[in-house]
């Protein structure tokens, strides 16, 4: 009888130890589950644009709502630049053409207006439609804001207007030479072609600027590598 009692007590003691062991294991698992990942917190605090991993636009679109019909950013940029240039042609070239008889004066006034429009409207629209902050800066010749940005945009618009004016003159001169006439204007100034020419020269100069910047960056990296 005493032997059976001893065995029963031993089995009860063994069960109690196992339960305590399981309880400690569960407490440990719960503690590990709620343990703070300090490395993740530090990475989140120190995150910035400079050290953040690049995220593609396609990945960002997965977390946006309501955009089933996707329009590429490049198409938005081209249309925005084309539309504002055409609108300026409509309101200034067509609107003021009857009141400003001198062509050069009309070109200059339109160029200044385009500078204001680019600084206050076009660039701000490009900033508004961007998915990632500053991603559309690469499609702006002048990224600065304020009075400096306005002044540079006016100077840049004068250059673009000169290119557009020379393009119209060159096309009309070539057509007149082919047709053997001198007193006709085959291609008049109107919003569609004006917008296309203006936007085309703008994108051309921006592309040249990016290529030049890339060449200078590569040269700088080579110089630093040699040192």
Contact yes or no for 67/76 (Cβ under 8 A): no
Question: Would you say the pTM of this structure is higher than 0.85?
Answer: no
d(CA 194, CA 201): 11
Q: How confident is the model at residue 31 (pLDDT cuts 50, 70, 90)?
A: low
Cα separation of 82 and 194, whole Å?
A: 9
Q: Domain of 19?
A: 2-35
The answer to whether residue 44 is domain-embedded is: no
Structure confidence at residue 225 (pLDDT) = 73
Asked whether residue 107 falls in the same domain as residue 159, the answer is yes
CA distance 194 to 227: 50
SS percent in the chain: helix, strand, coil, step 5: 75, 0, 25
User: 78 and 24 share a domain?
Assistant: no
Does one domain contain both 130 and 213? yes
Would residue 27 count as lying in a domain?
A: yes
User: 26 and 131 share a domain?
Assistant: no
Please check whether residue 43 lies inside any domain of the structure.
no
Q: Quick one: pLDDT at residue 69?
A: 67
List all residues 6 or more positions away from 69 whose beta carbon is below 8 Å from its beta carbon: none
Tokens of 127: 């900033």
**pLDDT 10s digits, 51-93:** 666 666 666 666 665 556 678 889 999 999 999 999 999 999 9
Q: Say whether 115 sits in a helix, a strand or coil.
A: helix
Higher pLDDT, 10 or 202: 202
Residue 133 located in a structural domain: yes
Residue 55 lies in a domain: no
Using only the alpha carbons of the chain, give its radius of gyration. Answer: 34
Same domain, 105 and 189: yes
Of the pLDDT bands very low, low, confident and very high (cuts 50, 70, 90), residue 37 is low
Work out how many domains the chain is built from and give that number. 2
Taking 70 as the threshold, does the pLDDT of residue 14 lie above it? no
Q: What is the pLDDT of residue 65?
A: 58
Residues 80 and 149 in one domain: yes
Do 30 and 135 reside in the same domain of the chain? no
In a domain, 162, yes or no: yes
pLDDT tens-digit map of 170-181: 999 999 998 888
State the average pLDDT for the chain.
82
Residue 54 belongs to a domain: no
pLDDT at 56 (0 to 100): 65
In-domain check, residue 59:
no
Same domain, 20 and 91: no
Examine the domain organization and report whether 182 and 89 are in the same domain. yes
Indicate whether 91 and 31 sit together in one domain. Answer: no
Does residue 130 sit in the same domain as residue 182?
yes
Same domain, 12 and 79: no
159 has a pLDDT exceeding 90: yes
What is the reported pLDDT for 132?
Answer: 80
Q: What are the tokens at 67?
A: 């955009």
């Amino acid at each position: 009888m005493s032997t059976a009692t001893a065995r029963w007590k031993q089995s009860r003691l063994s069960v109690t130890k196992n339960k305590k062991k399981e309880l400690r294991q569960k407490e440990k698992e719960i503690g590990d589950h709620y343990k703070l990942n300090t490395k993740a917190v530090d990475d989140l605090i120190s995150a910035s644009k400079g050290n953040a991993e690049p995220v593609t636009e396609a990945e960002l679109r997965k977390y946006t709502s309501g955009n089933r019909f996707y329009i590429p950013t490049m198409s938005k940029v081209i249309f925005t630049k084309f539309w504002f240039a055409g609108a300026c042609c409509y309101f200034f070239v067509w609107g003021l053409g009857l009141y400003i008889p001198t062509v050069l004066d009309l070109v200059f006034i339109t160029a200044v207006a385009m500078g204001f429009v680019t600084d206050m409207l076009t660039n701000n629209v490009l900033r508004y439609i961007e998915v990632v902050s500053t991603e559309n800066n690469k499609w702006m010749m002048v990224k600065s804001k304020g009075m400096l940005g306005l002044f540079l945009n006016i100077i840049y618009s004068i250059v673009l207007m000169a290119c557009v004016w020379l393009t119209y003159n060159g096309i009309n001169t070539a057509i007149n030479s082919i047709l053997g006439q001198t007193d006709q204007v085959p291609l008049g100034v109107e919003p569609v072609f004006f917008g296309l020419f203006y936007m085309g020269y703008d994108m051309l100069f921006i592309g040249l600027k990016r290529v030049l910047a890339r060449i200078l960056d590569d040269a700088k990296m080579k110089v630093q590598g040699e040192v």
